[in-house]
Structure 1
Amino acid sequence: MNKFMSVLEDILLPIADKLNNNRYLTALRNGFMVALPLIIFGSIFVVIANLPFLDRLIGEEAYATYQNALGPASAATLSIMGLFVIIGIGFKMVEQRGGEAIYGGVVALASFLVLTPQILEETAGVIPTSALGAEGMFLGIFTAFISAELYQLFVRKNLTIKMPAGVPDAVSRSFSALIPITLTLSIFLLIRIAFSFTAFETVQNFIYTLIQQPLTALGSGLPATIIAVLLIQVFWFFGLHGQIIINSVFDPIWYSLNEQNLSAFQAGEPLPNIVTKQFMDTFIVGIGGSGMTLAVIAAIFVVTKSRQLRELGKLGGPAGIFNVNEPVIFGLPIIMNPLVIIPWLLAPVIVAIVTYFAMDLGFAPKPAGLIVPWTTPALLSGYLATGNNIMGAVMQLINMAIVFVIWLPFLKVLDNQYYREEQSVQATA
């Protein structure tokens, strides 16, 4: 076991360190964090607009009016979430270099809009919301990275207008950004013109066909999901925040799949995807935190007798209800503890497989594309994430039972060890 852990540590820790310190992945992660409050706002109003049985209580016509009144909340946030992510990435990319971050955000947005087709069917001057949401997500990410780098390059080359002393600071900064922004947007305009002469016609079609579709198809499958879940657990075992590392890579895919489900849910159509952002966050991480340790806390109260574990359960229980599990990770401990590596790695993978097939077979509903705040307690989060479906909560309950059973024998071994140590200390006292 020690040799196996040593090999894992030698291989994975350098990779994790590079991923964690990669400025592009950091900007990507922070860009999504900028958009998160808006995404949650839109999700809350989708839930409110689709309350169960409300159509029967107030009538179909009143219900349609009610939904139309609340519709702009999601249309102005969830449907165009790509815009907020682009601004966030551009802002964070320039902020990392100590530049004028706000111009990084606006040049990223403007560059994306330059590349985006502004026509819907035969109506010019109209941008379809699909281009600003899931379909345009990957183009937006690449555009934000490249535009921010170009802007910073022109700034470093001193291609700026220097205003004389006495000019208001806001005016001076605006003119200073003029040439870098002009050059950056001109490059993207040339790219758009060049692609208009290709079979793809637009950069968006090129990115979507050659990159986004294949990656989305890969990320929506069970094998890639198992790998992602396993790596999250492995990184956490070595004391690294596995979610931050893996989410930086997979979030663009999972959010894209999420928005596809949301569009289908709002249209009353069958949901296309099982694996989405909320599949991961609600049915795996959202049961006490990474490793679904809420079930571990429940097992502590049921089977353990050592004072150390029972005190840990009292300390970690309230936090675990809201999916904060650092007390368990550092108090059990889980980090670098060979006694718990098997259940720690195995339980989330088994849960991911069981949940996937339960949704595939129709036993449990697929996530409806609603972003539920990560601190929402289990059962309630499962109910909300599946569009107010009680079977979402039932699926979470089943997942907790699976984790409980897998952890039980290993927790007993750990408890016996702690209990013997406590008895030995009492005997010598």
Structure 2
Amino acid sequence: MNAIMNWLEKYVVPVAAKIGSIRWLVALRDSFIATLPITMAGSLAVLLNAILQTYPAQWGWTGVVNAAQPLIMIDNTVSMGSLNIFAIFFAVMWGYHLASAYKVDGVAGALVSVSAFFMGINATAQVALGKKLSAGAAKILTDAGVTVSDQSITVGNAFTTGHLGSASLFTAMIFGALAMVVYIYLMKKDISIKMPDTVPPAVSKAFVSLIPAIAALYVISIVNYLFTWCTGQVFGDWLSEMIQAPLLHAGQSAGMVLLVTFLVQLLWFFGIHGSSVLQPVLDSIWQTSQLANIAALQNHDPLPYKWVRGSWDAFAWYGGAGGTIILLIAILWVSKRADEKTVAKLAFVPGLFNINEPVMFGLPVVLNAIYFIPFLLAPLVNTAVAYVVTMLGWVAPVQIAVPWITPPILDAWMATNFDFRAIILAVFNMIVAFFIWLPFVMASSRMQNEELTE
């Protein structure tokens, strides 16, 4: 055991720490974190509409649905202004945090990033028709520049929520990153217009970023034009088909899910915030999948993904990464170590709300050899069980983003849109985790007793 830990500490931990300090990855992580209020607001709206509309409609309670129409419309408006245009918010935060990481004007960086995003998506809106248009109506639309067919009408220079939601996140990431490379480089080279000291600071600041911003946007425009000319396809559409969709599909594989679980636990054991280090991966793949599920629920469509970002929180990471609330329960139940029981009592309430730093660093779990195996094994087993059960359709997939401080079991129930089977799965996994932790807690207690008798 010591040999393995020494090897990991010597070769794995330095690499992980270095990856966790890369400015681009830190900016990507912070960008997703910054959009949390928008995600929560949209998810709450979808959740309330499920209570007010979806379930009553299924049960035939049309009177409840009709009476709740004002609230339903309010929730729909919140969704339209949050989740349905999520990629815009991300693009703004992406540019801001990248620019701030390199200590250049973050506001201008945000504007450059969101402008680059709009350049990379297809500005064409297509609307399906319920029936064929009359010849007169078709002529009026055609004269206005609208393309008309028997099944749909297509309008140029228009964006739909399909362009602006989570489906376009990868376009926002790549085009925003390319634009910011140019912008940051020119800003660092001080290629800018200098204004006299008498000019107000706000005006002077805008002129400083003028040349870098213009250059960045023209580079994006040229790249987009050349790409479309060569492929006949807008970059954003190509990216969704060739890269984003396969990557999200790969995120549904058991191997990828378990690998990420293992890496998060391994990094945490050495005191590195594994969830934060891997958050760019977690959010780019599984948060995007979760947003797609939320959008599908809102539109009453089939859920496209079964394992998403919130699946870990609902069924494996109880009380934080590692499922440490189960460790605290085991210590309070069977341990005879006064030091561990004292820490467990102090850490239990924060643990109920998924704050596990007190137990990670106070017990500690970090670099505690006796807890190395269960800390890795319990979340892996829980994730594997939840993955199989979810993929078999025995429990509904996570389709609502709930606040991260939501206590265990309640989190699973709410996140799966109130599927009672999620409660059963969460309790089952917690029991399994308890019996994985139990022998190691007892061993830790015996070790101290033996030390005291020597």
TM-score of the aligned structures, taking structure 2 as reference length: 0.89
Structure 1 Cα separation of the partners of residues 264 and 47 of structure 2: 29
Deviations 1:93-129 (A, max 9, x none): 1111211111011100011111221111211232122
Q: Judge conservation of contact 1:25–1:249 (CA < 8 Å) in 2.
A: no
Number of the residue aligned with 1:120: 125
Q: Judge conservation of contact 1:308–1:418 (CA < 8 Å) in 2.
A: no
| Identity score, percent | 29
Deviations 1:263-321 (A, max 9, x none): 22223333221211111233222x11110011111111221222122212211111110
Q: Of residues 267, 292, 295 in structure 2, which corresponds to 1:235? A: 267
TM-score of the aligned structures, taking structure 1 as reference length: 0.94
Q: Judge conservation of contact 2:314–2:409 (CA < 8 Å) in 1.
A: no
Q: Judge conservation of contact 2:395–2:419 (CA < 8 Å) in 1.
A: no
Provide the alpha-carbon RMSD of the alignment.
1.8
Distance verdict in 2 for CA 1:267–1:349, change over 3 Å: same
Question: Which structure 1 segments of 5+ residues have no match?
Answer: none
Deviation of the 1:156 alpha carbon: 2.9
Q: Judge conservation of contact 2:46–2:294 (CA < 8 Å) in 1.
A: no
Distance verdict in 2 for CA 1:346–1:173, change over 3 Å: same
Q: How does 1:192-271 map to 2 (within 5 A)?
A: 192-271=224-303
Deviation of the 1:351 alpha carbon: 0.5
Structure 2 Cα separation of the partners of residues 269 and 191 of structure 1: 35
Structure 2 Cα separation of the partners of residues 18 and 206 of structure 1: 33
Amino acid at match of 2:113: A
Amino acid at match of 1:418: Q
Number of the residue aligned with 2:180: 148
Distance verdict in 2 for CA 1:336–1:200, change over 3 Å: farther
Q: Judge conservation of contact 2:326–2:433 (CA < 8 Å) in 1.
A: yes
Q: Judge conservation of contact 2:314–2:411 (CA < 8 Å) in 1.
A: yes
Q: Judge conservation of contact 2:178–2:220 (CA < 8 Å) in 1.
A: no
Matched positions, count: 422
Matched, 1:324 2:364: no
Matched, 1:356 2:356: no
Q: Of residues 404, 415, 425 in structure 2, which corresponds to 1:395? A: 425
Deviation of the 1:419 alpha carbon: 3.6
- 3-state SS of paired residue (1:244): helix
Number of the residue aligned with 2:89: 84
Distance verdict in 2 for CA 1:352–1:411, change over 3 Å: same
- 3-state SS of paired residue (1:51): helix
Question: Which structure 2 segments of 5+ residues have no match?
Answer: 127-153
Matched, 1:276 2:281: no
Structure 2 Cα separation of the partners of residues 64 and 361 of structure 1: 35
Structure 1 Cα separation of the partners of residues 306 and 445 of structure 2: 37
Deviations 1:170-221 (A, max 9, x none): 1111222222111111111112211222335111122223321222121221
Q: How does 1:59-74 map to 2 (within 5 A)?
A: 59-63=64-68, 66-74=71-79
Q: Of residues 308, 316, 319 in structure 2, which corresponds to 1:288? A: 319
Amino acid at match of 1:111: A
Deviation of the 1:225 alpha carbon: 0.7
Matched, 1:411 2:441: yes
Amino acid at match of 1:350: V
- 3-state SS of paired residue (1:123): strand
Q: Judge conservation of contact 1:200–1:206 (CA < 8 Å) in 2.
A: no
Structure 1 Cα separation of the partners of residues 77 and 448 of structure 2: 56
Amino acid at match of 1:406: I
Deviation of the 1:424 alpha carbon: 4.3
Q: Judge conservation of contact 1:103–1:177 (CA < 8 Å) in 2.
A: yes
- 3-state SS of paired residue (1:120): strand
Number of the residue aligned with 1:19: 19
Q: Of residues 316, 331, 339 in structure 1, which corresponds to 2:370? A: 339
Amino acid at match of 1:231: L
4+ residue runs of structure 1 moved beyond 3 angstroms?
52-55, 57-66
Deviations 1:48-85 (A, max 9, x none): 12117555384343345542331111221112222112
Deviations 1:214-237 (A, max 9, x none): 221212211101000000111111
Structure 1 Cα separation of the partners of residues 43 and 356 of structure 2: 25
Number of the residue aligned with 1:371: 401
Q: Judge conservation of contact 1:91–1:105 (CA < 8 Å) in 2.
A: yes
Number of the residue aligned with 1:138: 170
- Range 163-172 or range 150-159, more displaced: 150-159
Q: Judge conservation of contact 2:121–2:171 (CA < 8 Å) in 1.
A: no
Structure 2 Cα separation of the partners of residues 264 and 62 of structure 1: 24
- Range 20-29 or range 63-72, more displaced: 63-72
Amino acid at match of 2:236: Q
Amino acid at match of 1:289: G
